[in-house]
Amino acid sequence: MTGENKQKYSGLIGWVLFVAGLTGGLFVGWVVFPQILYSTKYQPINYNHAIHQEEAGMSCEDCHSFREDGTYAGKPRLAACVECHAEPQGETESEARLVAEFVEPEKEIPWVSYSKQPDNVFFSHAAHVKMAEMECTACHRDVEQETEAPPVKINRLTGYPNEIMKMYVCEDCHAQEHISNSCDVCHK
């Protein structure tokens, strides 16, 4: 190989390596990183939204309710389950575990939250759902047809689920609806 050819060849190798690095970087950034960043958590027992609505004829508010003082009650409590599930209602494994592990020992079900807000944000469901009359699905996924509770992806670094709303989403909507975007509206 002549000196000239050698130079050309090494230039080519350089470019190949650059592209390999670039591809590797893109792969890590787009594929590997999200896999590493999120851990997967499963609900303690499977909750079938569809069956409760279709067969039991329940409405969302039966479990996702507001307290008397207007604040949102958060995760459904065991007491709501016990109203119907003091005895097993079917033969699924989840049903059996619900009664054996939670209803009988009177232990709250440790539901994993799909959308836990950070502590430094003040968010009022009442203001959005009751006053602004927003649909739940404006922010949360539609669960009406769900027969399986999907796993929850939790960010290992922040500890929050991936469905958490980012600040720009709040701001965009507030701007659209001509609601103040002052810091202290959300950060009390």
Partner 1 sequence: MKLDRRAFVKLIAGGVGGTLLSPLPWKMADDTAIWSQNWFWRPSPARGGATTVNTVCQLCTGACGVRVRLIEEKRAVIIDGNPTHPINQGGICPLGAAGLQYLYGPSRIETPLRQTGQRGNLETLKPISWDEALEILAAKLRDMRQKARGLVCVSGKREGTVPELFARFLHAYGSPNYLTMPAVEDAESLGMFVSQGDSGPLAYDLENAKMVISFGSSYIEGWGAPNRMMMAFDGWRSKNNGGTTRVVQVETRGSLSASKADEWVAVAPGAEPALALGIAQVIVSEGWYNKGFVNQHTSGFQEFRKLLKRSYTPDKVAAITEVAKDKIIALAREFARTKPAVALSGRGQGRMPGSMYDFLAVQSLNALVGSLNQPGGVTTKPKPPLAQWPKVVLDATSLRDTKQPRLDGSKGSQFPLPGQLFNNFVKNVSEGNLYPAEMIWVYEANPVHDLADTKPVLQALEKIETVVSFSPFMDETTQMADLVLPGPTYLERLEDVQTPPGVQYAVFGLSQPVLSPRFETRHPGDVLIQLAKSLGGSVEASFPWQDYESALKERVKGIAKASRGRVADEPGIEPWTGTRGQALAPNFESFDDLWEKLSAYTCWYDTSEAMPSWETGFKTPSGKFEFYSQKMGQVGIRGSDLTYLPHFELFEPAGDPKEYPLLLMFYEKINILNGPRANSPFLTKLLFNFELKGNDSFVEINPKTAADMGLKEGDRVSLQTERGALNVRVHLTGAARPNVVFIPTGLGHTSFDSFIKGKGVNANEILVAQQDPVTGLDTWWGTRVKILKI
DSSP state letter for 98: I
Using rule CB under 8 A, residue 83 touches partner 1: no
CB 90 within 8 A of CB 52: no
Using rule CB under 8 A, residue 70 touches partner 1: no
| Tokens 């430094």, residue located | 120
- Exactly one of 7, 8, 42, 67 binds partner 1 (CB under 8 A); which one? 67
Instruction: Give the residue from 111, 102, 26 showing the smallest Cα distance to 74.
Output: 111
Instruction: Give the residue from 184, 70, 77, 188 showing the smallest Cα distance to 129.
Output: 70
CB 148 within 8 A of CB 48: yes
Binding mask 124-163 for partner 1 (x = CB under 8 A): -------------------------------x-xxxx---
- Residue 152 — φ and ψ, nearest 5°? -105, 130
As measured in angstroms, the least distance from the Cβ of 88 to partner 1 is: 28
Using rule CB under 8 A, residue 35 touches partner 1: no
**What are the residues whose beta carbons fall under 8 Å from the beta carbon of 177, sequence distance 6 or more?**
132
Give the range of 28-36, 53-61, 90-98, 99-107 binding partner 1 by CB under 8 A: 28-36
As measured in angstroms, the least distance from the Cβ of 110 to partner 1 is: 13
Number of alpha carbons in the 13 Å side-chain half-sphere of residue 114: 10
Give the range of 55-63, 88-96, 112-120, 136-144 binding partner 1 by CB under 8 A: 112-120
DSSP state letter for 104: T
Strand 152-155 relative to strand 38-41: parallel, antiparallel, unpaired?
A: antiparallel
Give the range of 54-62, 64-72, 83-91, 143-151 binding partner 1 by CB under 8 A: 64-72
As measured in angstroms, the least distance from the Cβ of 186 to partner 1 is: 14
Q: Using CB under 8 A, which residues numbered 4 to 23 contact partner 1?
A: 10, 13-15, 17-23
Site residues, partner 1 (CB under 8 A): 10, 13-15, 17-30, 33-34, 37, 67, 69, 71, 73-74, 118-120, 155, 157-160
